[in-house]
């Protein structure tokens, strides 16, 4: 049985389609990543699957239960951590956990043992008396995760859980998720970070409500057409603008201090890059051919979709 199944799931708001004919399945024990930029439809998809809102059309099931007809039953099987998790900043870590345990009707018998295990699991034991408002961003995310897990859900929905969190806390958060997988928890996570998608069992690439690629990270890399050149120039933003003017704009992607260009002829493209950038006095610190990442696949597949 598929843990999550959608068939032509659609949601519109005042004529604007946020999710368009979404069809996918997620199996038990998977960590499935829904990946796309802001406004792609990730949060709307998450709210539909957690029965927070009803679809305009289409169907979906979670643990075999229909998201509309059996909405209340679904909520017993899932944990949901939204982008803005509802922590109470004037309560301590322990008080927040107890509050959510009461909401989920977690039995008093055995509750403390479960809480102690989750605190140790998330490395929050030393901070259980600290006010939630005084926690770092990474610790708040861990506390949010503990609150979502307090009733032992079978499926965990995480909406961009590491957005704005420092790299060390992001790594710790993913370590906890991998531990959950060993306990047979199925995880559905949305993220705008393409490097995080590399950690998922399978990935769905979504843009403007449309799922336009689906598969394992390795399968998605095979969708890549062309060679990827990575450039590290002195002024990345300025360089990216110039290169989009001189090269096919959809082939140029800016990723922090790096520019990636998808091309069919690496030698010709390298020569053109050097000509364009040196002409305006920009320094090229490095230029090389690299293995494609999911970032490159996203740019490449999206460009083909537009064509």
The answer to whether 160 touches 188, Cβ cutoff 8 Å, is no
Strand 16-26's sheet: what is its strand order? 16-26, 4-13, 57-62, 65-66
Residues pairing with 271 in the sheet: none
For 227-291, CATH gives 3.30.70
Domain-by-domain residue ranges, the chain? 4-221, 227-291
Instruction: Find, among 97, 124, 122, the residue nearest to 179 by Cα.
Output: 122
Distance CA 64, CA 105 (A): 23
The answer to whether 216 touches 72, Cβ cutoff 8 Å, is no
Instruction: Find, among 103, 99, 117, the residue nearest to 75 by Cα.
Output: 103
pLDDT for the residue numbered 305? 60
> What is the tens place of the pLDDT at every residue in 45-75?
999 999 999 999 999 999 999 999 999 999 8
Which range is least confidently modeled, 60-69, 212-221, 264-273, 290-299?
290-299
pLDDT for the residue numbered 304? 64
Instruction: Find, among 121, 52, 141, 68, the residue nearest to 60 by Cα.
Output: 68
Tell me whether the CATH fold assigned to 4-221 matches the one assigned to 227-291. no
Region 273-300: what's the mean pLDDT?
Answer: 87
Region 102-124: what's the mean pLDDT?
Answer: 90
Residue 184 confidence (pLDDT) above 70: yes
Pair of tokens at residue 115: 């809480």
307 pLDDT tier (thresholds 50, 70, 90) = low
109 pLDDT tier (thresholds 50, 70, 90) = very high
Main-chain phi, psi angles of 104, to 5 degrees = -85, 5
Pair of tokens at residue 217: 């990270």
Which are the contacts of 69, defined by CB distance < 8 A and separation ≥ 6?
none
Pair of tokens at residue 3: 């843990």
Q: Is residue 250 classed as helix, strand or coil in its secondary structure?
A: helix
Which range is least confidently modeled, 88-97, 112-121, 123-132, 158-167?
158-167
Mean pLDDT of the residues in the chain = 89
Cα end-to-end span (Å), the chain: 37
- Can you tell me which residue has the tokens 């900043």? 89
Print burial letters for 201-234: b (CB count within 10 Å at least 16), e (below 16). bbbbbbbbbbbbbbeebeebbebbebbbbbbbbe
Which CATH architecture describes the domain 4-221?
Answer: 3-Layer(aba) Sandwich (3.40)
The two counts, helices (H) then strands (E), for the chain are: 11, 14
pLDDT for the residue numbered 161? 87
Residue 138 confidence (pLDDT) above 90: no
Main-chain phi, psi angles of 255, to 5 degrees = -125, 85
């Amino acid at each position: 049985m598929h843990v999550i199944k959608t068939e032509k799931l659609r949601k519109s708001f005042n004529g604007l389609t946020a999710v368009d004919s979404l069809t996918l399945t997620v199996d038990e024990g998977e960590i499935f990543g829904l990946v796309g930029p802001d406004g792609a439809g990730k949060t709307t998809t998450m709210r539909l699957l957690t029965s927070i809102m009803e679809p305009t059309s289409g169907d979906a099931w979670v643990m075999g239960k229909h998201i509309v007809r059996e909405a209340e039953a679904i909520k017993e099987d899932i944990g949901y951590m939204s982008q803005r998790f509802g922590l109470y900043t004037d309560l301590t870590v322990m008080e927040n956990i107890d509050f959510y345990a009461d909401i989920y009707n977690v039995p008093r018998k055995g509750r403390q043992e479960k809480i102690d295990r989750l605190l140790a699991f998330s490395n929050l034991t030393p901070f259980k008396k600290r006010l939630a408002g005084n926690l770092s961003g990474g610790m708040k995310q861990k506390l949010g995760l503990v609150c979502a897990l307090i009733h032992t859900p079978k499926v965990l929905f995480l909406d961009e859980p590491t957005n704005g969190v420092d790299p060390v806390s992001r790594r710790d958060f993913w370590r906890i998720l991998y531990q959950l997988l060993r306990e047979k928890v199925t995880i559905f996570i949305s993220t705008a970070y393409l490097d995080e998608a590399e950690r998922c069992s399978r990935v769905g690439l979504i843009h403007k409500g449309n799922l336009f690629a689906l598969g394992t990270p390795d399968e998605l890399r095979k969708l890549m057409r062309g060679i990827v050149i990575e450039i590290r120039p002195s002024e990345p933003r300025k360089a990216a603008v110039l290169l989009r003017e001189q090269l096919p704009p959809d082939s140029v992607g800016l990723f922090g201090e790096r520019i990636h260009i998808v091309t069919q002829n690496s030698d010709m493209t390298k020569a053109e890059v050097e000509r364009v950038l040196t002409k305006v006095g920009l320094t090229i610190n490095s230029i090389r051919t690299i293995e494609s990442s999911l970032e490159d696949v996203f740019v490449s597949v999206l460009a083909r979709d537009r064509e």
